[in-house]
Amino acid sequence: MDRYSDYDATGLAELVRNGHVTAGELLDDALLRVEQLNPDLNAVVLMQEDTARRNIARGLPDGPLKGVPFLIKDLGCEAVDFPSNNGSNLLAGTTYPRDSAIFERIAATGVVTFGRTTSPEGGIGAATESAVYGGPTRNPWNLGHTSGGSSGGSGAAVAAGIVPAAHGSDGGGSVRIPASSCGLFGFKPTRARLPDGPYAGEGWAGMAIDGFLTRSVRDSALLLDMCQGPDLGAPYVAPPLASSFRAATQRPCGPLRIGLCDTTLTGTPISPECRDAVHDAAALLTDMGHHVTPTLPRADTMGMMHAWTIIVACGTALGIRKALTARNRTLQQGDIEGVSRGAMKYAATISGDKYLECVGMIHAYGRQMAAEFQAYDILLTPTLAEPPAKTGRFAHTTEDYVTYRTGPEGIFTYSPFCAAFNASGQPAASVPLCWSPKGLPIGIHLAAAYGQDEQLISLCSDLERARPWITRRPPVFV
């Protein structure tokens, strides 16, 4: 066969089905790449090689990705055989009595999960630099830059060719930010499209959802099809698909109305590299027959960001309190990082009625964005306001949680687009169409109306055909 890293997940699965390679041989290839690349990247943790080989020996599920090596994020995706640190010293070595619904569905695809990928503590950063992992996770395109967050380990592992696809999750851009930073495809489906149970009823008032980092649109479509749908007792469900994600990738989009926003959603200028990239994408979409017009959404994005910050602070505090209760002890020095400590302090100032007011603000924002999407089918922006940040810029050392999120050099300044669609619940994707003059990836962000996942992934697939990216590889990709 050709090199292991020449294939996406669908391609590797086809090799296994046709008898050209075994699941064990693919696992060997993945483990060799961990050995070669992970010392520089710091992306793969909590390896469970014995579990992976045992699963192969007893027979993998006969799913569409049978035999393909896979990694799950070290945050959520609870699994009996995969202990987790959840990005935190406090939560290091957490074990689970049963598998989560999302892991059960991932396992049913036939993938060979052999470890976890790094995540910032609490999942609240746009970079992955947790103390529990001993250092930052680095970008395969340039080791001096971040791979993004909070699914930064998954982004780095897929971009480096350790695995062709990996699990992630997205509460404020945490799939799309690393996708943009690492030159990958990342898709956040409509709220509740994927299951949260049984360990959570919902994440961050419904703003968080699982997802995947992949090198091809078809891999994301396949994984979404296999994992979509409510789990038992889900508090709410997404609108049903008309057919499937995979069918949508094979169905070209008709001409769409596309709104182009080349500033932040509040009208603030973005970096020249990202502005040029989104105009390049707009020209490509125009050439493909779509109708692109400038726009600036009138929704209250600043109010949404304020409400998001409060809700996530309260969620962070709840997670820490539950961990301390389970361990029957008080918080000790070194248990959590500065930003989490600051989030706890901030959450202590938030009343119950203020929290509910913020949930109401998030819902109001969804209605405002829905009104905006009456004028266009797709909103086009960059994924980030600038190319991938240097490591250390978003370290979790500060205890000023609010400034870390909303200050002039904070996360929302760097990533002003993604969280809007966690708040509104709309599907959104980062597509790897552009690179900076210095060779850093610049993702293009596309958002569709609520429930229009198939329309969005169809457009992404058209873009992949128009400007293929799978052969574009970072320097470490050998």
Q: How far apart are CA 178 and CA 222, in angstroms?
A: 20
Given a contact cutoff of 8 angstroms between Cβ atoms, the answer to whether 296 and 267 are in contact is yes
Q: Active site residue: 5, 150, 169, 430, which one?
A: 150
| Annotated catalytic residue 174 | yes
Residues whose CB falls within 8 Å of the CB of residue 35, separated by 6 or more in sequence, listed in order = none
Q: Active site residue: 88, 100, 169, 174, which one?
A: 174
| Annotated catalytic residue 84 | no
Identify the residue whose tokens are 């992404």.
460
The string of DSSP letters for 132-199 reads: GGTS--EETTEEEEE--SSSHHHHHHHHTTS-SEEEEEESSSTTHHHHHHHT-EEEEPSTTSS--TTT
Residues whose CB falls within 8 Å of the CB of residue 214, separated by 6 or more in sequence, listed in order = 8, 9, 158, 164, 165, 184, 185, 186, 220, 223
Cα-Cα-Cα-Cα dihedral of 147, 151, 154, 155, to 10°? -40
The string of DSSP letters for 56-86 reads: HHH-----TTTT-EEEEESSS--BTTB-B-T
H/E segment holding residue 435: strand 428-435
Q: Active site residue: 73, 180, 415, 430, which one?
A: 73
| Annotated catalytic residue 73 | yes
Q: How far apart are CA 362 and CA 378, in angstroms?
A: 20
Phi, psi of 268 (to 5 degrees): -80, 140
Cα-Cα-Cα-Cα dihedral of 151, 154, 160, 162, to 10°? 170
3 state DSSP class of 128: coil
Bond before 150 cis per omega within 30 degrees: yes
Active site residues: 73, 150, 174
